[in-house]
């Protein structure tokens, strides 16, 4: 799918969020002088194509008490990695879960799962839950806690003109 | 915001809404009406509660979440084992690259983890090689092969 200028106007107008009203798309349509039906149809097409993942809320992990997170990494047998990755991703305390290539011999891990908890002890208990779920399919694991954010830049939308 | 809300700040309905609204709203004239029916609330109650949750900082954003890769971008998680005595020097070199979006220090032999964000996939390798040249350190690349997303859940 190629985004046209109107699609990009919609993405730009909604980049900082949708209005919290009963009819948010109607409001966006008013901003852009477009019919509401066109805004909805274009956003739906972008979602069908995967450009918009979903229209949703982002929870604030810190405010919700989940101030500790760790990047857990697992060496999971390749034949089971996709099925087990989906199960790990579905756990309620896992926010992101990915399969990535190993970097042998330094790095044997192929499954990455971000674990959230109220304390490091709680995160370690959740790591044990993941270990139990993976069972014998997992040969080893580690968890990497972040100590500092060294750089953080927002995602820029290319080609906004 | 790094302040934690008191546990009483949210009731069971708030938690239900936070969980439900992470899954995505349908694109329609009255998207909250559907959520309200599912939750046994009225539409204005749903809108008011989400507005309140945003005001108290329990949610940071309501809107479309974009897949930057689907829009044509390329991303790659990278890691380096930086000798502690060179950490600040290497951090300055890495952060100076415009392709470096996020960079985190982590407790591990691989102690620097960053995300390269480029417009085209072949620019990822170029950026990694350039950082290797500037720092004299190996840049391990961990591109995403598969993503499992469900979102996390607050205890209802």
Q: What is the pLDDT along chain A (161 residues), one digit of tens a residue?
A: 788 999 999 999 998 899 999 999 999 999 999 999 999 999 999 999 989 989 999 888 778 877 788 999 999 999 999 999 999 999 988 988 999 999 998 899 999 999 988 889 999 999 999 999 999 999 999 999 988 889 877 544 444 33
B95-98: long-range contacts at Cβ-Cβ below 8 A with a sequence spacing of 24 or more? B95/A150, B95/A151, B97/B127, B97/B130, B97/B131
- Complex-level ipTM: 0.79
pLDDT tens by residue, chain B, 156 residues: 457 788 778 888 998 999 899 889 999 999 999 999 999 999 999 999 999 999 998 998 899 988 877 777 889 999 999 999 999 999 999 999 999 988 999 999 999 999 998 888 899 999 999 999 999 999 999 999 999 876 666 664
Check whether residue A44 and residue A87 sit in a common domain.
Answer: no
User: What does the pLDDT read at residue A156?
Assistant: 45
Check whether residue A43 and residue A72 sit in a common domain.
Answer: no
User: What does the pLDDT read at residue B154?
Assistant: 67
Check whether residue A30 and residue A92 sit in a common domain.
Answer: no
B91/A contact by beta carbon, under 8 A: yes
Position A152 in a domain? no
Position A151 in a domain? no
Whether residue A22 and residue B71 make contact (CB cut-off 8 A), yes or no, is: no
A105/B contact by beta carbon, under 8 A: no
All residues of chain B having their beta carbon less than 8 Å from the beta carbon of residue A13 are none
Position A42 in a domain? yes
User: What does the pLDDT read at residue B2?
Assistant: 58
Domain holding A89: CATH number? 3.30.70.920
**Does the structural domain B74-142 have CATH classification 3.40.630.30?**
no
Q: A41: domain range? A: 5-48
What is residue A62's three-state secondary structure?
coil
A146/B contact by beta carbon, under 8 A: yes
Please answer whether residues A123 and A67 qualify as being in contact, where contact means their C-beta atoms are separated by less than 8 angstroms: no
Check whether residue A24 and residue A79 sit in a common domain.
Answer: no
Tell me how many domains chain A contains.
2
Cβ-based burial of B80 (10 A; exposed 0-12, middle 13-18, buried ≥19)? buried
* For chain B, domain boundaries: 8-55, 74-142
Position A122 in a domain? yes
Written as six digits, the tokens of A11 are 């993405």
Position A127 in a domain? yes
Position A103 in a domain? yes
A50/B contact by beta carbon, under 8 A: yes
Cα Rg of chain B (Å, integer):
21
Position A25 in a domain? yes
Position A22 in a domain? yes
All residues of chain A having their beta carbon less than 8 Å from the beta carbon of residue B123 are none
Check whether residue A26 and residue A94 sit in a common domain.
Answer: no
Check whether residue A92 and residue A139 sit in a common domain.
Answer: yes
pTM over 0.90: no
């Amino acid at each position: 799918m190629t985004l046209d200028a109107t699609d990009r106007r919609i993405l730009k107008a909604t980049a900082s969020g949708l209005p919290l009203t009963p009819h948010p798309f109607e409001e966006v349509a008013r901003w852009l002088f477009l019919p509401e039906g066109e805004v909805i149809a274009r956003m739906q097409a972008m979602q069908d194509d995967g450009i918009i993942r979903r229209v949703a809320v982002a929870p604030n992990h810190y405010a919700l008490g989940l101030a500790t997170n760790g990047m857990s990494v697992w060496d999971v047998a390749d034949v089971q990695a996709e099925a087990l990755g989906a199960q790990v991703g579905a756990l309620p305390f896992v926010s992101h879960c990915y399969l990535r290539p190993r970097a042998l011999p330094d790095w044997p891990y192929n499954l990455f799962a971000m674990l959230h908890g109220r304390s490091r002890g709680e995160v370690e208990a959740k790591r044990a839950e993941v270990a139990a779920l993976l069972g014998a399919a997992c040969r080893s694991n580690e968890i990497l806690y972040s100590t500092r954010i060294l750089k953080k830049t927002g995602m820029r939308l290319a080609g906004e003109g | 915001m790094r302040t934690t809300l008191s546990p009483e700040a949210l009731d069971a309905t708030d938690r239900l809404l936070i969980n439900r609204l992470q899954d995505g709203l349908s694109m329609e004239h009255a998207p909250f009406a559907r959520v309200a029916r599912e939750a046994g609330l009225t539409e204005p109650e749903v809108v008011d509660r989400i507005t309140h949750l945003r005001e108290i900082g329990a949610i940071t954003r309501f809107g479309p979440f974009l897949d930057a890769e689907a829009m044509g971008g390329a991303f790659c998680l990278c890691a380096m084992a930086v000798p502690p005595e060179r950490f600040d020097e290497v951090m300055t070199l890495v952060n100076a690259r415009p392709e470096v979006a996020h960079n985190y220090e982590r407790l591990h032999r691989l102690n620097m983890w960053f995300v390269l964000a480029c417009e085209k996939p072949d620019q990822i390798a170029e950026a990694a090689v350039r950082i290797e040249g500037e720092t004299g350190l190996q840049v391990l690349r961990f591109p995403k092969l598969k993503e499992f997303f469900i979102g996390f859940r607050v205890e209802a």
